[in-house]
Amino acid sequence: MSVRNTNRVIINLEALYHNIETVSEWMKNHDLDWTLVTKVLCGHKPTLNALIRLGIKSVGDSRIQNLEDLYEINKDIETWYLRIPSLSELEDVVTLADVSLNTETQSIKTINEIAAKQNKVHKVIIMIELGDLREGILPGSLMAFYKKIFNLKNVRVIGIGTNFGCLAGAVPTVDQFMQLILYRELLELKFGKSLPIISAGSSVALPMLLKKEIPKGINHFRIGESIFLGTDLISSGNLPGLRDDCVTLESDIIEIKEKSLNSGAETSNTTPFESEDEEATIKPGQRGYRALLSIGQLDTEVSGLIPENPEISIAGSSSDVTVVNIGDHRMGFKIGKVIRFKLKYSAMARLMANKYIDKVLEPSVDDFFKQINHMSSDIGGRSVLGSDKNLRVVKKSSTSSVENSVDKKSLDAEEKID
């Protein structure tokens, strides 16, 4: 029996296409390559399929199962494994990912052995710790680390990278980017091997890109949140030109009544979830309409829900229900109607992972691509893929698209070094 869930995540393909086109143009204008980070989709195949039909050439994820889904959709897509791999999953990483981020010599040597058995060369980015205190080797140990792995036959270290804004909230600076460029130069000079990629850009670095503050040597970005949510992670607003309605939530109203906004009962801290602190703004005896929605803390990070209607506010939530204040009037709301929310990243991630939430693409994939073809003819005959290399699917036959993406200067440098 098919059961309709009372809550829906709406994935707006038109808005998503707009954001991809916009970011892709930014990358093209600065001669940068980028990988679309799809981990927040939690392997949602219809959306992944739509993205690949758009021509996305390079996808990064942090779950093996999601890479497996991508492989089933399109075996030729370039894949990056973004979480530092555990020893138990290295075989799958080599099988399903073209590139992985690494920080442990034991893991890299094991990758080399597995890749030899699979008759392939696996590509590796060495992650360096620059302040976010998540993954990364310390800069002082970089030379000794690289010395142990640079001559492995079935592993090719294609570059170095770092991470910002994910754990400690470290904000990237020009000085930190220049450090990475210096580290690459030192490694190339000492070991005589080209390192064509510096993968240091992410959504948090896009404001710097728009201000033209990214040093020339940084040539690869891994972008997820700003594509799906339009987020400016520095100012907490939206990046100029990006839409914030790519992914929204619709939740059914299951009760709406006028109530006192003060409990009137003796209260304690027995509730398992934190509620919004409204006591400072509610007057004694104040009343208003409150709606109960069929979504709660088991479903998502409720604090990451942003009502589209600015007159609505979240009063609190329990495991299964969220309560919103409507105001002095019903505003046309009644049971069975929906209230729409925009999302923060934490809310979207949990919604996409939740089996109780329907995920719906709007418009439908077929209607969307008919519309895209029409739009393309209206803008000078440009196809969906256009001429942008970041939206072109590249076959990974004899060479990976990562290597093909290296600019001419890097290739010239490799010839001189080797």
* d(C-alpha 155, C-alpha 108), whole Å: 8
Tell me, what CATH number does 348's domain have?
A: 2.40.37
For residues 293 and 394, state if they share a domain.
no
pLDDT digits (tens, 9 = 90+) for 58-94: 999 999 999 999 999 999 999 999 999 999 999 999 9
Quickly count: other Cβ atoms within 10 Å of residue 248's Cβ.
21
Say yes or no: 228 and 274 in one domain.
no
Chain-centroid distance, C-alpha 267: 40
Q: What is the mean pLDDT of the chain?
A: 86
| Among 340, 336, 298, CA closest to 317 | 298
Shared domain for 77 and 171, answered yes or no, is yes
Residue 417 located in a structural domain: no
Mark whether 193 and 143 lie in a shared domain.
yes
Regarding whether 392 and 283 lie in a shared domain, the answer is no
* Residue 367 lies inside a defined structural domain of this protein: no
Check whether residue 43 and residue 112 sit in a common domain: yes
The backbone torsions φ and ψ at residue 198, rounded to the nearest 5 degrees and listed phi first, read: -120, 105
* Co-location of 254 and 351 in the same domain: yes
- List of residues 6+ apart from 175 with CB closer than 8 A: none
Least confident interval from 2-6, 26-30, 98-102, 118-122: 2-6
Domain of 393, CATH number, reads 3.20.20.10
**106: in domain:** yes
- Asked if residue 128 and residue 259 are part of one domain, the reply reads no
d(C-alpha 56, C-alpha 89), whole Å? 26
Q: Is residue 403 part of a domain?
A: yes
Task: State pLDDT tens for residues 141-176.
Answer: 999 999 999 999 999 999 999 998 888 778 899 999
Domain of residue 49 covers 12-243+386-412
Write the pLDDT tens digit of every residue in 254-275: 999 999 876 655 555 656 666 6
Residues 279 and 226 in one domain: no
When mean pLDDT is compared across 14-23, 44-53, 364-373, the lowest value belongs to: 364-373
Give the pLDDT of residue 411: 33
**Contact call for residues 224 and 40 (beta carbons, < 8 A):** yes
Specify if 223 maps to a domain.
yes
Q: Does 59 reside within a domain?
A: yes
Residues 35 and 131 in one domain: yes
Answer yes or no: do 238 and 131 share one domain.
Answer: yes
For the stretch 360-365, contacts whose Cβ atoms lie closer than 8 Å and that sit 24 or more positions apart, written own/partner, are 360/8, 360/9, 360/10, 360/11, 361/11, 361/13, 361/46, 361/47, 361/50, 362/10, 362/11, 362/12, 362/13, 363/13, 363/14, 365/13, 365/46, 365/49, 365/50, 365/53
- Is residue 315 assigned to a domain? yes
DSSP code per residue over 33-96: EEEEE-GGGTT-HHHHHHHHHHT--EEEES-HHHHHHHHHH-TTSEEEE-SPPPGGGHHHHHHH
In a domain, 404, yes or no: yes
Shared-domain flag, residues 78 and 48: yes
Query: Number of folded domains in the chain?
Result: 2
